[in-house]
Structure 1
Amino acid sequence: MSLQPYSSPQPLHSAINVVLDTAYQGISDSDWKNLFASARQSGLEQFIADMFAGKHINNSEDRPALHSALRNLSKTPVLINGADVMPAVDDVWRRIDALCNKWVGVTDVIHIGIGGSDFGPRLAIEALAHVPGIESRGMRMHFLANIDTAELARILAHAQPHSTRVLIVSKSFTTLETTMNAKAVVAWLKENDCTKSQIAHALYAVTANVTAAKEFGIEEDNIYPFWDWVGGRYSVWSAVGLPIALQYGFETFKQFLAGAESIDLHFKNAPLEENLPVIMALALLYQQQKHDIKAYAVIPYADALDWFPKWLQQLDMESNGKSIDRDGKPVKHSSPIVFGSAGSNAQHSYFQLLHQGTEIIPIDFIAVREPMSDRPEAVAHHHILLSNCLAQAQALANGKDDVNPNNVYPGKRPSNLLLLPKLNAFYLGALLALYENRTATLGALWNINSFDQPGVEYGKVLAKPIEKALTSHQNNIQASAEIDAVTAARINFLNS
């Protein structure tokens, strides 16, 4: 082991039995004090209060960011411009509950959405499928996001058209991939002799643009609204999460919301020194300031959470991947690159780089104390899984000396250990809300607006004239203001 171990044991931090251990961050007590003082000086406490109070913290779009209201099961009034939003949220809850009891004989559900309309519900369906003894309602849940027809073809090859329901999920109801895929599924229903009435009965929408959903042909009773104060990547708590309730029952969906609400209350009320999202944010900020890190990894030692890093990539990098702050000034730091996958699989992939690569890459290790199956070998396997998680964190932190340079591990690679007591709907909701609130905290500390995403749109604008040129089948496209010379050459090659 190295002569100066990186470990600096701190008191364990916990909320609702979720434990955060920062001992391998290498942050001294005096550094922690400075971090908390700096957070207070930046106005973080006021930012948190303003977020839950419905203030327009999304300054570029002049909106609140009130996804916390979607999991406010206590129904405590939440005001936007003086009006309580909770009656409308509660109405959606009641409609979701009623729909769960209404669907009988449905074999397949095709959930059509992309980005925030896809990652959250897909993660939840995958994660909760591993919960021992969870009651599934027997429907096959399909997620259709990619405009590549390979995904569409795979789903339609297995779905039964006359007992299929279709959820079209788009905040704007103008997202190209979603509307194109929705039209293709409707065409498939027609090809399989579904009547106009049957198709109307099969189509449902989740959107903030009710008018556009009606124009598409969806009956008003089948439209579930959400609101412009909900960002797409924060929307799984709304009717976007319908697949969770439909697959596992409304009570499971409520438990998912309850876990998130519990973390929200902790984030809102706990002092900074005991506040899990704040501590996680400050630890990452410290590593940026000290080591100028460019990336961090999240490694859940639970196969059920293999989709979690993909969900987190959108949350962090779409929220905070910016070079300009709220005042239009350049920022020194913003979101690092996020990557990860389930341990221990990840150890056999890119851990070589984490241990002996030239860059320091902090890691969030996530572990679950209880096994995720009731197999007879589950406990023995789980002990091996946890031992790998703990061993990797120790090796990364402390390193190893050796006379052979090839066998030297430099150590001092920082990590968190996040421990969930079990993985069920409640703690899955808590995990997602913990990272949502950590992302918002980082945005506040960097003075970045975490609730808009203007950079996402530019490529979509440029795609339109390129699509037009491709569908023309001409191979003499010339460079223009909309298509540069390189792209024009590529279009001509594809059209040749």
Structure 2
Amino acid sequence: MSSKNPHSSTASTASTASSTTIASLFSPIQSAADITLDTVYQNISASSWKQLFTQARQAGLEEFIADFQSGKPVNQSEKRPALHFALRNLSKTPVLIQDQDIMPPIAKVWQRIEALCNQWVGVTDVIHIGIGGSDFGPRLAVQALSYVPHINSRGMRMHFLANIDSAGLAHILERAHPNSTRVIVVSKSFTTLETTLNAKAVVDWLKAHNRTQTQIAQALFAVTANVPAAEQFGVAADNIFPFWEWVGGRYSVWSAVGLPIALQYGFDTYQEFLAGAHAIDQHFFTAPLEQNLPVIMALALFYQQEKHHIQSIAVIPYADALEDFPKWLQQLDMESNGKRIGRHGQLLKYSCPVVFGSAGSNAQHSYFQLLHQGLDIIPIDFIAVREPMSKLPEAQTHHRQLLANCLAQAQALANGKTSDNPNEDYPGKRPSNFLLLPKLNAFYLGALMALYEHRTVALGALWDINSFDQPGVELGKVLAKPIEQALLTSSEPNLISADATIDAVTAARIALLKK
């Protein structure tokens, strides 16, 4: 199995370079894996960039990257390494945990995925059940690659079921064919409430359509770290793909969580997706900070926080294929770095801003008024694709207009416009990045996603945040259980004890719902 990666990082190590030489490496326009990053409109002076790289070194960013790569427990709260980059290590260079190479079991999963692709015949519908990191990544990739002209596709209906709103479940089941449907249940613990409820409902649907227990077992697949729970649910052992504890959910699309990519578009396309991410990994681990794209993007945002105290950022891909990219990034950024307490228990000065965005140029007719003339300064990442994603006669004309809009918005936000009429005055000095992909295919999609993953991790290191845990999501899950019981029973919620889990406001709302 080859990586089929014709690309390589443009960066090289500079461990022996003098500080003067290192400083001279920086340019506001840099490239890696053929993706270009232009930070000119960040309006950061050469001296400020120099200071930023000094701050990064003083914060121990170089050491953190080395620890991350070497498998040290950078997720210190859970005492685990974060080795999701090993999942796309197509070179199979050994990656060690306690002197054990984890690449052989990963390669075995690749072989199993390839074998399943070859066996996957007669399937009309795939229901992928998962939530959060088990949903956003594969959903984004399957959707984005569907826009690639002439991509090799099985043309199956890919249904992504995440929420426990039964309307979404009904919408899928109305269209799927039970005799030719396969179900992939994705849950690291195999105890996720939404996932297990939806999985049970889909199994009940299969039973209601007279599928036998054997047929249901053949239709069920699982991706999990809890193999016994998957087997107890009824998934055959041969249909269970492992999910390791050192993989965070939001970093998991590179594992068997990404099965829908391979099953829909073929194993070669899946490998290209991994290869693009692997190219960025090599760049992130070897490039000096001054040429390191994820680091440069992290430092630009870090600078804008310190200078303008920004509270939000916008990510605008000028490609319909990347409509779901900001949604995927929201989880990556805000679940990783949306924290007020640092790695050493200290109260933080800065953490993750709110992330939002949608496809341009649609976004221009939505919230760009706020970006241009609102009170807050909101940094923007403009993402463009050099080649159009259509073979229509109008493709070049439309794409030229699309790119023109992208460049024009960045220029207008940066330079502004002075007018005697206050309504026509644009303050300008609104910072932005410009990211240019040569084309959008599996390789560059993988590279783009890995670029932002490493940017998120670098920001966490700069803020002194653990980017690999998510304790804040647990409290609501705990409180939901007694509230569900209160909704189920006719008695009043317990508000007597000092440690009552339902407060008076929620009790009143429960009463309202039960009327």
By the TM > 0.5 criterion, same fold? yes
Matched, 1:485 2:504: yes
Asked if the contact 2:486/2:493 (under 8 Å) is kept, the reply is no
Asked if the contact 1:477/1:492 (under 8 Å) is kept, the reply is no
**What is the CA–CA distance in structure 2 between the aligned matches of 1:405 and 1:452, rounded to whole Å?**
47
Aligned-partner SS, 2:392: coil
Shift of the alpha carbon at 1:386?
0.2
Shift of the alpha carbon at 1:477?
6.0
**Which is further off, 475-484 or 261-270?**
475-484
Given candidates 431, 435, 440, the residue that maps to 1:423 is: 440
Aligned-partner SS, 2:228: helix
Q: 1:372 to 1:473 in 2, by over 3 A?
A: farther
> Where do 1:76-475 residues align within 5 Å?
76-474=93-491
Aligned-partner SS, 2:164: coil
**What is the CA–CA distance in structure 1 between the aligned matches of 2:34 and 2:103, rounded to whole Å?**
28
Shift of the alpha carbon at 1:475?
5.5
Asked if the contact 2:36/2:437 (under 8 Å) is kept, the reply is yes
Pairwise CA RMSD:
1.0
Aligned-partner SS, 1:448: coil
Give 1:16's aligned residue.
33
Asked if the contact 2:185/2:220 (under 8 Å) is kept, the reply is yes
Q: Counterpart of 1:332 in structure 2: which amino acid?
A: K
Shift of the alpha carbon at 1:41?
1.1
Asked if the contact 1:121/1:240 (under 8 Å) is kept, the reply is yes
Q: Following superposition, which runs of at least 4 residues in structure 1 exceed 3 angstroms of deviation? A: 473-480
1:79-127 alpha-carbon deviations (Å, 9 max, x no partner):
0011000001001000000000001101100000000000000000010
Q: Counterpart of 2:297 in structure 1: which amino acid?
A: M
Asked if the contact 1:476/1:492 (under 8 Å) is kept, the reply is no
Tell me how many residue pairs correspond in the alignment.
488
1:42-69 alpha-carbon deviations (Å, 9 max, x no partner):
1111111111111000000000000000
**What is the CA–CA distance in structure 2 between the aligned matches of 1:275 and 1:317, rounded to whole Å?**
22
Asked if the contact 2:140/2:328 (under 8 Å) is kept, the reply is yes
Shift of the alpha carbon at 1:211?
1.1
Q: Counterpart of 2:364 in structure 1: which amino acid?
A: Q
Matched, 1:55 2:89: no
Asked if the contact 1:474/1:495 (under 8 Å) is kept, the reply is no
Shift of the alpha carbon at 1:478?
4.2
Shift of the alpha carbon at 1:493?
1.3
**What is the CA–CA distance in structure 1 between the aligned matches of 2:493 and 2:483, rounded to whole Å?**
13
Asked if the contact 2:85/2:278 (under 8 Å) is kept, the reply is yes
**What is the CA–CA distance in structure 2 between the aligned matches of 1:243 and 1:17, rounded to whole Å?**
26
Shift of the alpha carbon at 1:17?
1.0
**What is the CA–CA distance in structure 2 between the aligned matches of 1:145 and 1:429, rounded to whole Å?**
23
Asked if the contact 1:210/1:223 (under 8 Å) is kept, the reply is yes
1:337-368 alpha-carbon deviations (Å, 9 max, x no partner):
00000000000000000000000000000000
Q: 1:38 to 1:118 in 2, by over 3 A?
A: same
**What is the CA–CA distance in structure 1 between the aligned matches of 2:493 and 2:268, rounded to whole Å?**
59
**What is the CA–CA distance in structure 2 between the aligned matches of 1:470 and 1:81, rounded to whole Å?**
48
Q: Counterpart of 2:75 in structure 1: which amino acid?
A: N
**What is the CA–CA distance in structure 1 between the aligned matches of 2:370 and 2:78, rounded to whole Å?**
40
Q: Counterpart of 1:185 in structure 2: which amino acid?
A: V
**What is the CA–CA distance in structure 2 between the aligned matches of 1:361 and 1:483, rounded to whole Å?**
38
Shift of the alpha carbon at 1:11?
4.2
**What is the CA–CA distance in structure 1 between the aligned matches of 2:440 and 2:140, rounded to whole Å?**
13
Asked if the contact 2:494/2:502 (under 8 Å) is kept, the reply is no
**What is the CA–CA distance in structure 2 between the aligned matches of 1:479 and 1:229, rounded to whole Å?**
42
Q: Counterpart of 1:242 in structure 2: which amino acid?
A: L
Given candidates 48, 68, 86, the residue that maps to 1:31 is: 48
Q: Counterpart of 2:512 in structure 1: which amino acid?
A: F
Shift of the alpha carbon at 1:473?
3.8
Name the TM-score, length of structure 2 as normaliser. 0.94
Asked if the contact 1:474/1:492 (under 8 Å) is kept, the reply is no
Asked if the contact 2:486/2:492 (under 8 Å) is kept, the reply is no
Q: Counterpart of 2:154 in structure 1: which amino acid?
A: R
**What is the CA–CA distance in structure 1 between the aligned matches of 2:100 and 2:288, rounded to whole Å?**
29
Shift of the alpha carbon at 1:138?
2.2
Aligned-partner SS, 1:157: helix
**Which is further off, 288-297 or 469-478?**
469-478
Aligned-partner SS, 1:245: helix
Q: Counterpart of 1:411 in structure 2: which amino acid?
A: G
**What is the CA–CA distance in structure 2 between the aligned matches of 1:254 and 1:476, rounded to whole Å?**
53
Q: Counterpart of 1:111 in structure 2: which amino acid?
A: H
Query: What stretches of structure 1 of length at least 5 have no aligned partner?
Result: 1-8
Q: Counterpart of 1:267 in structure 2: which amino acid?
A: F
Give 2:514's aligned residue.
495
Give 2:21's aligned residue.
none
Aligned-partner SS, 1:224: strand
**What is the CA–CA distance in structure 2 between the aligned matches of 1:143 and 1:476, rounded to whole Å?**
35
Shift of the alpha carbon at 1:169?
0.2
Name the TM-score, length of structure 1 as normaliser. 0.97
